């Protein structure tokens, strides 16, 4: 279901744009009916009010909680959520009041180190299903203040729905725009659309290597933009939006952790408006990569920072649930215990 479908239904009941906003705010922010100076009961058209409980129940019913897996840090948890057609997505409650949402079931990019891409794209997640993940997360954490689009799927391959969700979350959802993070492998259509968007999110760019040929192997169906062009496009967006880019780097033992990559990172990222998030790979059954030693990862991050590229090594808090996107879904699909 799309947010635009919800708006159309409300309009057909006599709602004007202000009514639509209030109804959507009521849903996304879990507000009581009598919140604010004008309680909804006395302000909404009667026909809208009559339909409201059913509509909210329908929106909440877009997802069902199949299983919940708390992280070792006591703050994070990975949720496996069922969609109405029997498909599943993963949503992750992150430490420090964040949530990571999925924008697709499966993914067409097929990154070699990711379980989500193994079966390709199965279906798009509608904008209302994306927002429903945030609503569910907010019911578990009323302090929620950040939404990252880094779960299953490549947001630029479901661009209209992701931007619709971002617009709603930024306008009616109570989120600061810079706390909405659009994560992409890099796509010209996404760069162009974000530049024009009313609600401009922060941007995370999955770089993973500075070598174009290696990137084509690791991210086989990502658009063929060179690492240099990707960083140029991301940097231009950062300067236009005012939010630094988060360059994402899944650290794979013996693959992208050598001295030539470190030189490449310094060449590409020094002086850019952004920071490098280095995330040691979480070993996953069936994937041919190893997690590098933590101390080694720490010294790589320290070296890069000393050479002028602000590098953050993601600490272990929540990493057991943050890493390995797609593993719960894969295990459930194979009938394994999760």
DSSP state of 315: P
Binding site for ligand SF4 (CB under 6 A): 107, 109-111, 114, 116-117, 152-154, 185
Query: Smaller CB distance to ligand SF4: residue 24 or 219?
Result: 219
Query: Smaller CB distance to ligand SF4: residue 129 or 154?
Result: 154
Residue 110 beta carbon to ligand SF4: minimum distance, rounded to whole angstroms = 6
Query: Smaller CB distance to ligand SF4: residue 50 or 216?
Result: 216
Query: Smaller CB distance to ligand SF4: residue 20 or 322?
Result: 322
Q: Is 325 a catalytic residue?
A: yes
Residue 109 beta carbon to ligand SF4: minimum distance, rounded to whole angstroms = 4
Q: Is 172 a catalytic residue?
A: no
Place of tokens 């490098």: 276
Query: Smaller CB distance to ligand SF4: residue 107 or 268?
Result: 107
Residue 89 beta carbon to ligand SF4: minimum distance, rounded to whole angstroms = 11
Residue 27 beta carbon to ligand SF4: minimum distance, rounded to whole angstroms = 27
Residue 229 beta carbon to ligand SF4: minimum distance, rounded to whole angstroms = 18
Which of 51, 90, 154, 261 is catalytic? The answer is 90
Which of the residues are catalytic? 90, 325
């Amino acid at each position: 279901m799309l947010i635009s479908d919800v708006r159309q239904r409300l309009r057909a009941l006599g709602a004007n744009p202000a009514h639509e906003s209030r109804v959507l705010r009521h849903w996304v922010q879990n507000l009581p009916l009598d919140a604010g100076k004008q309680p909804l009961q006395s302000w909404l058209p009667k026909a809208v009010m009559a339909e409201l409980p059913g509509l909210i129940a329908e929106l909440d019913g877009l997802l069902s909680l199949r299983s919940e897996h708390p992280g070792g840090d006591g703050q994070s948890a990975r949720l496996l959520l069922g969609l109405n057609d029997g498909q599943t997505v993963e949503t992750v409650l992150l430490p420090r009041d964040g949530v990571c949402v999925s924008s697709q079931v499966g993914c067409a990019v097929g990154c070699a180190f990711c379980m989500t891409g193994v079966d390709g794209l199965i279906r798009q997640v509608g904008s209302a299903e994306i927002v429903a993940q945030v609503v569910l997360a907010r019911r578990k954490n009323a302090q929620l203040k950040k939404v990252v689009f880094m779960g299953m799927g490549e947001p630029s391959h479901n661009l209209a729905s992701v931007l619709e969700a971002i617009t709603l979350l930024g306008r009616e959802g109570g989120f600061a725009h810079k706390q909405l993070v659009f994560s992409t492998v890099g796509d010209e259509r996404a760069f162009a659309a974000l530049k024009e968007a009313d609600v401009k999110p922060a941007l995370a760019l999955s770089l993973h290597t500075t070598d174009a040929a290696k990137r084509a192997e690791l991210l086989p169906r990502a658009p063929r933009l060179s690492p240099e062009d990707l960083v140029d496009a991301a940097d231009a967006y950062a300067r236009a939006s005012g939010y630094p880019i988060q360059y994402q780097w899944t650290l794979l033992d013996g693959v992208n952790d050598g001295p030539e990559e470190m030189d490449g990172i310094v060449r590409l990222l020094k002086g850019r408006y952004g920071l490098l998030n280095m995330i040691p790979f979480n070993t996953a059954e069936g994937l041919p990569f190893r997690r590098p030693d933590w101390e080694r990862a720490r010294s790589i991050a320290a070296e890069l920072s000393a050479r002028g590229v602000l590098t953050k090594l993601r600490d272990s808090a929540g990493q057991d649930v943050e890493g390995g996107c797609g593993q719960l879904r894969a295990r459930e699909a194979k009938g394994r215990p999760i």
